[in-house]
Every structure is written in structure tokens, then in C-alpha cells.
Amino acid sequence: MIGIGIKRGTAELAILSVLEDGALHGYEMARRIAEQTHGSLRFTLAALYPTLYKMEQRAWIRGAWETSPTGRRRRCYRLTPAGKKKLAPMRQEWAELFRALHRLRKVSHG
């Protein structure tokens, strides 16, 4: 399980990534992130919604109330063009970080 400090940094990338496939409501988003990371990243309500609202204020995502086939009203979020644009450099930054950490591990083991 990934610690809270690292998890906080990955939240935005995780949210943008799951929204890339289409609109999702908060609970489904958290469920998919947990599923796709095999449980390594789990976002509780307290961790997820402040991040979602912050990202909405930055216009990376947009929330709108939608009615599900079961009749329940849910706030679904989708990527905005600004969010889509943000995703690629964010992925690159994380990939760069992982490469740097990998090199660091090699050096310390060498």
C-alpha cells in the first residue's frame, strides 16, 4: 500500500487517467483507481473530493448532475480540453521521476 504523502501527489494523475475513458462519478472513480492499481492506490471520500473540487476549479475536469438508469442522481466528472492537455506532460513528469528513482536505486546498489 502506497503511503499518504506519495498518494497525494499521484491523485491528480490517477483521476485524469481514469477520466480519459469517459465520464465517471466520484465513487466509481475511486473504485476504478483501486481496481486498476490492484489496491495500491485507494482514495477515500476525504481524499478524493477536495482533489476533485480543486481540479474542477482549475478547469481540468467538469462535473454535472446526471441521472443513472436506476434513477439515482450523481455528479459525473469528465475531462475538459485543458485537462486532456494537462495529462500528457503530467505523465511525462511522473515517468521522469520513476526513471530518476530507478537510476538512483541502481547507483545505490552498484
Residues that bind another protein (CB under 8 A): 20, 25-27, 30-31, 44-46, 48-51, 53-54, 56-60, 62, 72-75, 79-85, 87-88, 91-92, 95
Minimum distance from CB of 47 to another protein (Å)?
A: 9
Neighbours of 23 (CB within 10 A): 17
- Asked if residues 79 and 16 have their Cβ atoms less than 8 Å apart, the reply is yes
Minimum distance from CB of 18 to another protein (Å)?
A: 13
Nearer to another protein, 73 or 105 (CB): 73
Residue 87 neighbours by CB under 8 Å, 6+ apart? 13, 16, 17, 20, 79
Nearer to another protein, 23 or 108 (CB): 23
Residue 4 neighbours by CB under 8 Å, 6+ apart? none
The dihedrals phi and psi of 25, each to the nearest 5 degrees, come to -90, 165
Nearer to another protein, 82 or 101 (CB): 82
Nearer to another protein, 57 or 108 (CB): 57
Residue 86 cell numbers, joined: 494537462
Minimum distance from CB of 85 to another protein (Å)?
A: 5
